[in-house]
Structure 1
């Protein structure tokens, strides 16, 4: 369906291939090959009141649990930023950051944004090296965080 001038919103779903990540410091607009793991799960509390006539439990929402975010990007010459950030972890002290994952439209404008609060690197992995390979070298960083907030930008 073509654009019918509808100001309410687009009739097409957003493509997922145009995005950028903002680490709020020297790393703004970092290009990643892949970002995944943006999920939330609410634990279930089962409770049965003592005066309940039903012989079953009620299910109530409990604490929310956020999964770790995994990001993959190419390795660049003289860029050890993520490794240096991970090296700062010392006995429960780490510089936590707010990380913004931005979904962009065809014009490069932000349409949707995921904000990770109090984020820090929990794991970094480099890919294997092979003398007969021709792939790009990839770093994978896993980010732990305490809250995921979604914002729709208009």
Structure 2
């Protein structure tokens, strides 16, 4: 009997010092290892590949804009040169709301904030977007 995969709409985001928040989208998080190619002397036909530096993608968070301005204030501090690095987590929940998978990110700071697109004929929720840059990301072992 197989295990059903978790649904992509049951998740939370926690950021140190900022209230745990529900977002409509969390995307972009991941890691890449640079591939360094070189040719060994005497073997001109084969390229060797070694791992290079590791980099972590920016995380984009989207949510309906509310009266809360904690995330915007965090970004505004960065705009004024006061980078406040925070750790956080992206958490997948099962159908009962129990935590199942957690990705922890470290030394993150808000590098972009975008306000909602507004349209006088629209009926959608006004969505704000925050992009955070982190120095490390790892899946927590459960």
Q: TM-score, normalised by structure 2?
A: 0.91
Cα contact 2:18–2:70 (8 A) shared by 1: no
1:20 aligns with 2:20: no
Instruction: Spell out the pairing of 1:96-111 with structure 2 (5 A cutoff).
Output: 96-111=85-100
Equivalent-residue separation in structure 1 for 2:125 and 2:30 (angstroms): 28
2:26 to 35, 43, 52: 35
Provide the residue aligned with 2:73 in structure 1. Answer: 84
Provide the residue aligned with 2:102 in structure 1. Answer: 113
Normalized per residue, the structure richer in strand is 2
Provide the residue aligned with 1:146 in structure 2. Answer: 135
Cα contact 1:111–1:152 (8 A) shared by 2: no
Cα contact 2:18–2:71 (8 A) shared by 1: no
RMSD: 1.5
**Comparing 80-89 and 137-146, the one that deviates more:** 80-89
- After TM superposition, give the deviation of residue 54 of structure 1 in Å: 4.0
Report the number of matched residues.
141
Q: TM-score, normalised by structure 1?
A: 0.84
Give the gaps of 5 or more residues in structure 1.
Answer: 2-9
1:71 aligns with 2:74: no
Give the gaps of 5 or more residues in structure 2.
Answer: none
| Larger radius of gyration between Structure 1 and Structure 2 | 1
